Structures are given as C-alpha cells and as structure tokens.
C-alpha cells in the first residue's frame, strides 16, 4: 500500500476531519482514505471521463449542417493535382 504525507494542513481542517471521522465511527486516517476513494470514484464517473471522440463531437455540436441539409455529391467533377511549377 502507498503512503501519503500531508504537510502544512490547517488546524481547522484537521479538527473538521476529526469531527467527521468521529461522526462516522472511524479513525481520522480511515476517514481521509474514504474521502480520497470517493474523490477518485467521482472523477472516474464525471462527464469529463468520456472518450476523445465523444468530447470532440460535443464540442462541435450545433456547428455545421442544419436539419435536413445535405452535402452535395461531387460526381462528374475531375480533380486535378495542383501544378506547383507555375
């Protein structure tokens, strides 16, 4: 198991953690572990944990084609490579 040392913690925060631990019937150390576990779980369940494609799609939602609008086909057009010699 890993260890974590927290330095320069305000006395008021320590006192609140002790009260919270007591109200849950556990040690302050166990209370801090539980808080950290819950924070890690919430991060994994957050909306920001979506895949890259989903995040990109949501960023550009509403931009682009309107309802019923279509992209015209380019059949019959000859595509020629650019001439960089000119």
pLDDT in tens, 59-72: 888 787 778 888 88
The owner of tokens 């950290």 is 36
What domains does the chain contain, in order, with CATH numbers? Answer: 11-56 (1.10.1220)
In sequence order, the 6+-apart residues with CB closer than 8 A to the CB of 20 are: 31
**Residue in 6, 60, 56, 63 with CA at minimum distance from that of residue 29:** 6
**Residue in 5, 4, 3, 27 with CA at minimum distance from that of residue 17:** 27
Report yes or no on whether pTM surpasses 0.85: no
CA-to-CA distance for 64 and 53, rounded, in angstroms? 17
| 34-86 tens-digit pLDDT | 999 988 887 666 666 677 888 788 888 878 777 888 888 878 888 889 999 87
- Contact at 8 Å (CB) between 31 and 17? yes
């Amino acid at each position: 198991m890993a260890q974590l040392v927290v330095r320069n913690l305000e006395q008021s925060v320590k006192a609140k953690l002790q009260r919270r631990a007591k109200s849950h019937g556990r040690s302050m150390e166990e209370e801090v572990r539980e808080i950290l576990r819950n924070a890690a779980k919430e991060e994994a369940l957050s909306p920001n944990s979506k895949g890259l494609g989903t995040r990109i799609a949501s960023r550009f939602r509403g931009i682009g084609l309107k309802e019923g609008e279509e992209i015209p086909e380019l059949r019959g057009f000859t595509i020629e490579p650019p001439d960089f010699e000119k």
